[in-house]
Amino acid sequence: MKTYNYSNLNKQDIQTLVQRNVDPANEIRTLVEDVIAHVKQHGDRALFDYAHQFDKVELSKLYLDKAELQEIASAVTADQKAALKVAYDNIYKFHQSQVKAEDKVETMPGVTCWRELRPIEKVGLYIPGGTAVLPSTFLMLGIPAQIAGCKKIVVCSPPQKNGKVNAFIAEVALMLGVDRVYLAGGAQAVAAMAYGTETISKVDKIFGPGNQFVTKAKTIIQSTTTTAIDMPAGPSEVLVIADGTAKPAFVAADLLAQAEHGIDSQSVLVCTDENIAQQTLIEVEKQLQVLPRAEIAKQALDNSYIVVTDTLAEAMDFSNQYAPEHLILATESWKDITDSIINAGSVFLGNLTPESAGDYASGTNHTLPTSSYARAYSGVSVDSFVKKITFQHLTEEGIKNIGPSVEILADLEGLHAHRNAVSVRVSPPTP
């Protein structure tokens, strides 16, 4: 991990450092556009072809039904089921708290306005299954969809070499009451849910993280179809702010936890203590030796770096420019700087709060904006699966109170039919 001194960085240097997952030659876009076009034109046939090409498996059908999911899930042990249940319960409890009815507001006598929630009817959940299978993502997406009351939930996940899904994906499907999982991954799965195929239904909104191809597919279909997306989410990243009170072994573990996601992940350490930074690097090397996914982590670390600052305020300034998906405050002074956080997907406070807790079971959602999109996007929540529709009701008193102002405003915009829609109610024409 290359080390930079914050005081030596100019604005352009910082802009270059915080930029990630770019596609300057549009190579990813070109490939993804071809995949989307092929799926749009050929439907199921394209999905079978891509399963062979990308997943190296010949499929006889594009889904697993409930009986097949039950058979696959039988391999999950009691301890593993119990751990998944803890995660399910905590995620459900946290997300259930987000469902709140809003009060009606009388903006002036006789004029009442309010909002009501309605679930998005058909949603698509993309569950990654590349170098790591993520049943936790299934929980993070399925539970809020369940709470929101979405009528149709379409789940896509890449097939394994045996033409099935991981046992834990199957177990989560049963926990969520999902009785069909579609065997499609990558950009082709996104395209299938956006356009629909003979087997997979078109959905109204697509959720889920993925690699650069999945993320690019989501951004393309959002601008070219009637299907919305949750956010651009992937590849994953973490930024750790540390000072002299940080524990190098903990910080190293957090950096590696992110790096092992994939070779395009990024782990950034912003540290006020150069000694802590050096100790952390030593710990990274030590812990790396025993990681099963060490080769993946090493490649991600090659794309990662350290920034040494003089103060926590400078560290936070860099973090806000980076806008991390995950932000860890590895300092005993975290209470003093949380108010300075402007851009972050999810925040982990203090030396005893690893990102892993939020990734799996604390209750917060781990589907978060990446690549600086935390500047404008929030992570997935129940709100992501609902629409908020506004209502208003005017009484006779209300139309008389608000009518003159609306008439004047319509006049100044030159919209006379708008004025008349009020006028005929305030002063109906004589028969």
Active site residues: 325-326
Bridge partners, residue 119, by sequence: 386
- C-beta neighbour count of 391 within 10 angstroms: 10
Could you give the angle at the alpha carbon of 347 between the alpha carbons of 343 and 350, nearest 5°? 130
Helix, strand, coil percentages (3-state) for the chain, rounded to 5, are 50, 20, 35
Give dist(CA 285, CA 231) in Å, integer. 34
Structure tokens at 376: 């404008």
Residue 394 CA to residue 303 CA, distance in Å, equals 59
Sign of CA dihedral 413, 418, 423, 425: negative
| 264 touches 235 (CB < 8 A) | yes
Alpha carbon distance 236, 209 (integer Å): 9
Beta-sheet pairing, 386-394 with 111-119: antiparallel
Question: Which residues are registered as beta bridge partners of 327?
Answer: 239, 347
Find where tokens 């003159």 sit.
404
